[in-house]
Structure 1
Amino acid sequence: MATKSFPYSAFLRGPSDVLPTLDNADVILERRDDENLILMRAERFEAGAASLRIAARGLAIVARRNSGLAEEVLAEELPWLTWLPETERHQCVRELLGHLMAGADTGELLPFGRALTSWRSTAVVWSDPRLARDLQGPFAGDGPQVPRPKADS
């Protein structure tokens, strides 16, 4: 879908000049001191949300039946997955799919976005063997090991 940008102040001054754009495009309202806003017709929003739900559930079914294929599908879109150790790759795929399915169902995609950013950062660290080794410790300044507390009876 096409998008068209307008200053937020233009929308405040004359919404009737901006709203007709929604017939053919989504509108990005650019704000100087805060995040931009997006205006779109409800029908386009609902179609996108329904599409996301179907795609997320479809990918989740593939993952349950053939985890290797699901990883391959995600790795096609997220090539940095190859930098993760195999065990973490499996965990990453499961976590991302879980967040994607929950987000598709609720409309709350920020947890998915945060998890995606976090896993990408983790993969970048793993791509540098020296950095990955250094971040696994031991760390200078670590104190002596403390025994685990005993369970209460």
Structure 2
Amino acid sequence: MATRTFAFSTLINKQTSVFPALEDSDVILERRDAENLVLMRSERFDAMVQGLGLAARSLAIIAKTNRSLAEEVFAEELPWLTWLPADARPQCVTELLDQLLAGAATGLLLPFARAFGEWQSTAEIYSDPELAARLRGPFDTADAVEADRPGGGDD
């Protein structure tokens, strides 16, 4: 599927330039001071959501019946999994599958994207043994200052 890009102001000032592009492509509206927006026809959006749901459910079935196969599939697509400790890989696969399934069922994929980014960042930390060791501690707390809990409570 082709994607066309327009300045957001084009949508406001020259709608006749943007809407015809939706016939054969999705449109990215670039904004200077905010996140870009995507416009697409509802039939393409519905097809994407259905396809994602089917793929996520199929992958979950594989994971339930053959966990090692699911890990192999993820490792093939996510080579950075190899940097995670061996005992963390199943947890990563499980969490990503669960988030993907929930997102496919609800259309809310931001939690999946956040989990994906967090796991990838974690793997990248493990790829640098010196950084991983520094983050494990021990930490020099000689100059530490105790801070109040947010909200002022003592919970």
TM-based fold match above 0.5: yes
Match of 1:97 in 2: 97
Residue 100 (structure 1) shift? 0.4
Does residue 139 (structure 1) correspond to residue 139 (structure 2)? The answer is yes
d(CA) in 1 for partners of 2:130, 2:66: 33
Q: Which runs of 5+ in 1 are unaligned?
A: 144-153
1:52 alignment partner AA: L
Q: Secondary structure at the match of 1:104?
A: helix
Does residue 127 (structure 1) correspond to residue 119 (structure 2)? The answer is no
How many residues align? The count is: 143
Match of 2:37 in 1: 37
Match of 1:27 in 2: 27
Match of 1:5 in 2: 5
2:21 alignment partner AA: T
Residue 130 (structure 1) shift? 2.1
Q: Secondary structure at the match of 1:86?
A: coil
d(CA) in 1 for partners of 2:124, 2:31: 32
d(CA) in 2 for partners of 1:63, 1:107: 21
Deviations 1:57-102 (A, max 9, x none): 1111111111111011011111000000111111000000010000
Match of 2:153 in 1: none
Query: Deviating runs (4+, > 3 A) in structure 1?
Result: none
d(CA) in 1 for partners of 2:68, 2:44: 33
- More divergent stretch after superposition (128-137 vs 61-70): 128-137
- More divergent stretch after superposition (65-74 vs 11-20): 11-20
Residue 131 (structure 1) shift? 1.8
Identity between Structure 1 and Structure 2 (%):
58
d(CA) in 1 for partners of 2:19, 2:63: 42
Match of 1:84 in 2: 84
RMSD: 1.3
TM-score by length of 1: 0.90
Q: Secondary structure at the match of 1:138?
A: coil
